[in-house]
Amino acid sequence: MRSKSVKTSVMAICAAMLLMNPMRAHAAEPASEIVTAEDLQTQPAQMPDAAAMPAEALGTQPVPAEALEIPSELLEVPPEAGLSDGAELPSVPADSETALLLAEQAKAAQQGYALDKYRMINILGDSLTEGVGARTPDKAFPEVLSRLTGAKVNNYGVSGSRITDITVDYTNPGSFVDRMYSMEKTADLVIVFGGTNDFWFGDCPIGERTDSKPNTFYGALNTMLPYLKNAYPAAELVLMVPYQQSKDADETHTYKRSTYGDYGSGTFSQYRVAMLDRCQYYNIPVLDLYADYELNMADNREALEMYGNYLCDGCHLNDAGYNLLARKLYQFIMQDFSQYVPAYTTVNNMVFETAALPALIQNGNFVMPDGQVIPVKEGFAADPAMPLQQLYQTLIVSAMD
């Protein structure tokens, strides 16, 4: 049994690495099929930085810096980061990583999770799964996840790959829908982490919910998700939605492109909605990093200053970022999925066509024409003047706050 002081130290490290501030409200993105209710708010609620909060607000005394036991070599700037002189970009040395991982395992044990839940994990992904941006392969998040779970983790990440197979004959060795057939069949957990390149390349049409061919994003999801459920009947299947990103930063740290833009086939919000929609349809748990991870790199210089500690550019993570991602994923996959309830509810656009907006809003809830009551995220202000067409094209509401 570890002493109380050591536990406090370990948990303090975990808290220090996990706490991240949401960005200020960004400029309105182009109307997409569905976005989050949070995106419709003028000013999202801000989460204060724990380091800047008074001790009484935290309910405890400040933790002395030496208690964190973070070695001095934690702070260094790799040349590839492209940060200004004096900027601090932490990596995760082995000793500090061990403390972080032990803290996550202790947290899982306290919640009653079986720490040996998984023996083999497949992760199908792109460069974020391959580990681009990590200093060494063992810092990629699949390797960190392996150390957390004790499971063998098969890394099927291929840089530049897309979920969508956009070739005429639907045979692209790099696409998820082609590579999914060659994964290890004895895995008891399969994780899909993609969509980034489908968006950034700008040549993967989103398509329609009913598409069955993998040359659209919806069609690829409708091909891949049922196959994985059937190919791994005894395994858990999880999909991860990528976090918000930016690219092409110049010398002033101004990002020229972000996930709020449309580079040929739609905004990332639309790709995200397709993933949420199909996972709800096929009853697949989703870790929505776009909403939860808060690595929002679309706010230019402020974003770099706030989140630069976790990225080597506006898209790929560094050691610290992959470590944080692995720990968030670990807590997600350790839950009892038989009790899983999505943290979102997609709303069919058609239900709004026969009802006026004021009639749908009752006591802070959306009351659907069929009588279903859906809680609206706190702070969402329904505007009776908003055109009904705009509302039902841009709405996804949360069923859990």
Q: Give the pLDDT confidence of 113-146 residue by residue, as tens digits.
A: 888 999 999 999 999 999 998 999 999 999 999 9
In this prediction, residue 191 carries a pLDDT of 98
- In the prediction, which pLDDT does 394 show? 41
> Which is higher by pLDDT, 300 or 173?
173
Q: What are the sequence ranges of the domains in the chain?
A: 4-339, 351-397
Higher pLDDT, residue 187 or 34: 187
Flag the least confident range among 67-76, 277-286, 310-319.
67-76
Query: Lowest-pLDDT range, 83-97, 166-180, 317-331?
Result: 83-97
228: confidence class by pLDDT, cuts 50, 70, 90: very high
The burial class, CB within 10 Å (0-12 / 13-18 / 19+), for 72 is exposed
pLDDT at 2 over 70: no
Closest by CA to 274, choosing from 340, 213, 334, 219, is 219
Which of 90-94, 172-176, 202-206, 348-352 is least confident? 348-352
* CATH of region 4-339, choose from 3.40.50.300, 3.10.350.10, 3.40.50.1110, 2.40.30.170: 3.40.50.1110
pLDDT at 203 over 90: no
- Reduced 3-state DSSP string for 277-311: HHHHHHCCCEEEHHHHCCCCCCCHHHHHHHHHHHE
3-state DSSP of 74-88? HECCCHHHCCCCCCC
Residue that wins the pLDDT comparison between 396 and 318: 318
Calculate mean pLDDT across residues 12-19. Answer: 39
Q: Closest Cα to residue 9, out of 83, 134, 103? A: 103
Most confident of 10-14, 58-62, 366-370: 366-370
Q: Provide the whole-model pTM.
A: 0.63
**Percentage of the residues of the chain whose pLDDT score is greater than 70:** 50
Specify the range with the lowest mean pLDDT, choosing from 53-67, 117-131, 198-212, 252-266.
53-67
pLDDT at 198: 87
DSSP string, 211-268: --STTSHHHHHHHHHHHHHHH-TTSEEEEEEPPP-EEEE-TT--EEEETTS-SSS--H
